[in-house]
Structure 1
């Protein structure tokens, strides 16, 4: 299988096309026009938000708060630097990491926002079961098809947040997507709703939301909340290492980015390997490879995770795929799998404690799948 000569993405990766020189469309910046349009729009909305006077209601914005480094950092900034009246919205996903929950508890103690927790275990499990069990899109697929379960889960609770903001007449929703995620997310509320209908159809969407989304489709634009992406507007200031350092100094963060992932990370990798023969973080890792090759001085080379400069991407991906599929098939010894996983995650830059924490979640993949009703082949 041929791969991009710059970033090592395989030729059959979803949404990837190699040119005559073996360079992929991401490295050739074929998406640049769409990216610039999204950047321009998010910059405008973020500027409007920063300059907006206090809203008529109780809150200036609904803030999507997950307990990860990005949302914790921006929640602190919104409240203490921008002086916004914030409703911190946390969707209580049944797959939440214990470390994310601990960070949320710290924020509730130290940040003077109003915190609210939403949940809908039955429906989000129903949706995730549908996503994992349905046949994948045929190749070559579209950009981010390998991350469909993750994108679907995020969209589900974004829609829950949109409905809450709409009902309470909160004018803005803050979503801490990192700068690399702008191509994966709609900035317009109506387009978010339409995209969900297109993915899941009218029947399942009606089951999941009880018909409430239809009202958003026909509402006047000025009555709908606007989505703010602060990290995309501030992309030149986005430095994950500095963010974690500042949060720890304030006592707001006691983990690593890997440790705040939800417990579905192993299944997300299983889905990616089974359907697309790639690891879940392949796009991020390829961004690392691309950046190192283009600038030897560029150290922070991806947004969600920071990969070591010496990473052998092809070797890590091959070995991770083997162990993930072996666990899914209930083959091999647990101790041997754990040893392999700890080594792989340390190669990807995790500390030993973080590597062991994440490895244990991979070893429990079959029980998580059984609880969710996901069929492992």
Structure 2
């Protein structure tokens, strides 16, 4: 398989085309038009939010989606302690939440004077994830981000739960802490998020998962529908995950690493990407990093939540991870050797020894998680 000579994306990566010189369409900015239009709309919504006054229809100016990760913890602290917004902190209790993310949420509840709300619907989100993972092998070449469909679907599910919550309580804005690169491919228009979910899962399953309530959003007046705001759009040029983690730890608000606060589906997300598209789950992140380094040799900052070390051999890491993940899925190979290999891989990605072992153990338990969700490997 050919790889892009700039960023190492493979020629079979969904939504990516290599030219005769081996340069991919992302490196040539062939997607720039669509991304720019979405960015322009997203930026306009953020500017509107910052200028808006108190919500005349309720006690909260925005619903803040709080996951327990570093980005949302950082911004929740800013919203409550530095900005003048009245904030409802909303957490969807994902059944496959990392224990480390749950610990960070407890720290925030102890230290940040906000109103915290916990929502959950284990049966529906598990039902949706079974649908995603158990689908037949997708048709190729596929569309941009198809390799992340399970993660995107999960995130969209609880975004829609938040949209319904804000819609019912007349909260005009929803703050979602996507990192600056994720913002480019995410939708700020809640009505369009609803339509996209219907397109992906069909009317029957969507109405089953949301008990028919999403239709109310589709046919509501524009001023009744909450708008999605991405706070990190304001700091897109100085986003630095290392600095964010350091600040949070200094305040006692973060007690892990970004790799450790991923959900327990992280190994299965890699399995899905390897099985269907031949790439690791974070290949787009890694390729964005390599692209930036290639354009600026002094580049030392990541716009993604996961920062890749300059010296990391992404192609080698990806091949090693693919072999281990597929062997675990097939129940072949030596589990002890798998653990050693995974720990070494995540150490190369700058995880601590403890963090690398934590993530490696989650990969070794991948089959157990799959069985619990009814996912076929």
Map 1:181-220; keep pairs closer than 5 Å: 181-220=182-221
Q: Give the alignment's Cα RMSD to 1 decimal.
A: 1.0
Q: CA deviation at 1:30?
A: 1.4
User: Hey, what's the Cα distance between the residues in 1 that align with 2:185 and 2:331?
Assistant: 33
Gaps of 5+ in 1: none
**For residue 71 of structure 2, what is the aligned residue in structure 1?**
70
User: Hey, what's the Cα distance between the residues in 1 that align with 2:255 and 2:246?
Assistant: 10
**For residue 24 of structure 2, what is the aligned residue in structure 1?**
24
Q: CA deviation at 1:237?
A: 2.6
Larger displacement relative to structure 2 (15-24 or 262-271):
15-24
Larger displacement relative to structure 2 (151-160 or 302-311):
302-311
Displacement over 3 Å in runs of 4+: none
The 8 Å contact of residues 60 and 87 in structure 2, kept in 1 or not, is answered as yes
**For residue 4 of structure 1, what is the aligned residue in structure 2?**
4
User: Hey, what's the Cα distance between the residues in 1 that align with 2:218 and 2:138?
Assistant: 27
**For residue 346 of structure 2, what is the aligned residue in structure 1?**
345
Gaps of 5+ in 2: none
The 8 Å contact of residues 180 and 303 in structure 2, kept in 1 or not, is answered as no
User: Hey, what's the Cα distance between the residues in 1 that align with 2:351 and 2:206?
Assistant: 38
User: Hey, what's the Cα distance between the residues in 1 that align with 2:305 and 2:109?
Assistant: 24
TM-score, with length taken from structure 2: 0.98
Task: Find the residue that maps to 2:285 and give its secondary structure.
Answer: helix
Map 1:319-358; keep pairs closer than 5 Å: 319-358=320-359
Q: CA deviation at 1:238?
A: 1.2
The 8 Å contact of residues 239 and 302 in structure 2, kept in 1 or not, is answered as no
User: Hey, what's the Cα distance between the residues in 1 that align with 2:249 and 2:115?
Assistant: 22
Q: CA deviation at 1:39?
A: 2.1
User: Hey, what's the Cα distance between the residues in 2 that align with 1:72 and 1:18?
Assistant: 39
User: Hey, what's the Cα distance between the residues in 2 that align with 1:301 and 1:116?
Assistant: 32
Map 1:43-122; keep pairs closer than 5 Å: 43-56=43-56, 57-122=58-123
User: Hey, what's the Cα distance between the residues in 1 that align with 2:238 and 2:84?
Assistant: 20
**For residue 179 of structure 1, what is the aligned residue in structure 2?**
180
User: Hey, what's the Cα distance between the residues in 2 that align with 1:125 and 1:94?
Assistant: 8
Deviations along 1:11-53, one digit per CA (max 9) or x if unpaired, are: 1100001123211111111122222222222222112211211
Q: CA deviation at 1:201?
A: 0.3
User: Hey, what's the Cα distance between the residues in 1 that align with 2:234 and 2:221?
Assistant: 26
The 8 Å contact of residues 240 and 302 in structure 2, kept in 1 or not, is answered as no
**For residue 154 of structure 1, what is the aligned residue in structure 2?**
155
Task: Find the residue that maps to 1:184 and give its secondary structure.
Answer: coil
User: Hey, what's the Cα distance between the residues in 1 that align with 2:326 and 2:248?
Assistant: 36
**For residue 283 of structure 2, what is the aligned residue in structure 1?**
282
Instruction: Sort the Cα spacing of 1:317 and 1:347 in 2 relative to 1 into closer, same or farther, 3 A.
Output: same
**For residue 145 of structure 2, what is the aligned residue in structure 1?**
144
Q: CA deviation at 1:302?
A: 4.5
Q: CA deviation at 1:239?
A: 1.1
The 8 Å contact of residues 71 and 176 in structure 1, kept in 2 or not, is answered as yes
User: Hey, what's the Cα distance between the residues in 2 that align with 1:361 and 1:2?
Assistant: 31
User: Hey, what's the Cα distance between the residues in 1 that align with 2:368 and 2:24?
Assistant: 38
Q: CA deviation at 1:73?
A: 0.4
State how many pairs are aligned: 376
**For residue 130 of structure 2, what is the aligned residue in structure 1?**
129
The 8 Å contact of residues 42 and 187 in structure 2, kept in 1 or not, is answered as no
Deviations along 1:223-252, one digit per CA (max 9) or x if unpaired, are: 111110111232113111111111111110
TM-score, with length taken from structure 1: 0.98
Q: CA deviation at 1:79?
A: 1.0
The 8 Å contact of residues 42 and 233 in structure 1, kept in 2 or not, is answered as no
User: Hey, what's the Cα distance between the residues in 2 that align with 1:332 and 1:9?
Assistant: 28
Larger displacement relative to structure 2 (365-374 or 299-308):
299-308
User: Hey, what's the Cα distance between the residues in 1 that align with 2:29 and 2:231?
Assistant: 23
The 8 Å contact of residues 39 and 233 in structure 1, kept in 2 or not, is answered as no
